[in-house]
Each structure stands twice: as structure tokens, then as C-alpha cells.
Amino acid sequence: MTHPFARAERELVPGHWLGPAAVLALGCATAWTLIGFGHGAPLAAAVLVTSLLLALWNSPLRASGHEPLRAVRSVADAGRAVVVLWRPGCPYSSALRRRAAREGLEVHWVNIWRDEDAYQLCCRINGGSQETPTAMLLDGGLAAPVVIPASVPGIREATAAPARAVIPTRVITPASVRPRSLGVRGY
């Protein structure tokens, strides 16, 4: 399986530009409507600038806070590390990042749109979807990564408890990966 977000082709994946394009189109339509109703150019310009900033915030070009998964695994071999798989534009990932920073938790943030291994791991954990944030504990003493709750209490508990005492929500093995039910009977 090839990674659809490899650096060279990341900008060409239309699905990841859909959200930012929709925000920008909505901002342009709102500005046009404001000008049409005579509310003036300054308000329309403010709407356009705001929508442009929101579109950039949600775009795949945003590169803040990324560590390669291979580098984090080498840190985990020496001890333990909490890793959160995230993607730009995910409001839940942004909220978790703010809360974890406020609490002073040591977390390694891996952008799944910039790291092929992280993307494949995220899809494997979540049954083929890019559900983020996905938090896991990497420990050299454990055979496989352990998925933990993607919350400040979950991260705090994983970093405070001994490695063997962490109660996993799921252990990542090929047997634990099952497609999610769509809730439709007969399929």
C-alpha cells in the first residue's frame, strides 16, 4: 500500500483540500453577500482574511509539531514514550494538544499526513480510517504499542504508571484490527 500523502504528492490529494477549499468558498460567498447588501468592503475584507486564515490552518501544508515516527520509536526503545497521531484540521487533535501543553505532559506529536509509517499505523489501529487523535504508549519492554485514551487523563495515567500496569484500550496486533460495522444489517 503506497502512502497517499507522500511529500511529493501531498498537495495533489483532493480529499485533504476539500475542507480548506469549502471554508474559503464560504468566506468568499459571505463577503460577496455582504458587499451586495451594502455592508461595506471593510467587513467583507475581514471575512475574507478570516476565512483565508482558517483555510490555511486546516490545510495539509501546516507542518507544526511533527516528529517522525521512526525517531520516536528510537526514543521509546530507551524508555517509554506517549505518541499522539494527529492531522491538520482535526479540532480534537488541536484541543488535546492545548490541554496537554497546559498540563505540561511530554507527548510526541506525529502528523499522519507527513509520515507514511504513522499513516499506516493509524489506519491499522482504526480499522482503515484516519481517526485522530490516536494516542499510544511505546515502551521498549512491551512487545507492541498499546493504544491509550486520547485524553489528558489517559496520557497522564500512561506516563505515571509502570509499563506493565497500564490498562490498554487495545493492543495493536493484526488480530485486533477489524473493519468497523456500518450499522447496516445484512452486510
Residue 130 shares a structural domain with residue 44: no
Q: Does residue 25 fall inside a structural domain?
A: yes
> pLDDT for 146-155, tens place per residue?
899 999 999 9
The confidence band for 140, taking pLDDT boundaries of 50, 70 and 90, is confident
Q: Is the peptide bond before 133 cis (omega within 30 degrees of 0)?
A: yes
Instruction: Residue count of the chain, please give it.
Output: 187
The whole-model pTM stands at: 0.60
Residue 118 shares a structural domain with residue 158: yes
Q: Does residue 3 fall inside a structural domain?
A: no
CATH number at residue 145: 3.40.30.10
Contacts 24+ apart (CB under 8 A), 31-35: none
Work out the percent of the chain whose per-residue pLDDT is above 70. 72
Write the burial class of residue 179 (CB in 10 Å: 0-12 exposed, 13-18 middle, 19+ buried): exposed
Residue 87 shares a structural domain with residue 15: no
SS3 109: strand
Residue 105 shares a structural domain with residue 22: no
Q: Does residue 186 fall inside a structural domain?
A: no
The answer to whether the CB of 66 falls within 8 A of the CB of 86 is: no
The number of folded domains in the chain is 2
- Domain span at residue 30 reads 10-58
Residue 81 shares a structural domain with residue 135: yes
Residue 46 shares a structural domain with residue 85: no
Least confident of 43-52, 53-62, 91-100: 53-62
| Cell representation of residue 157 | 495515567
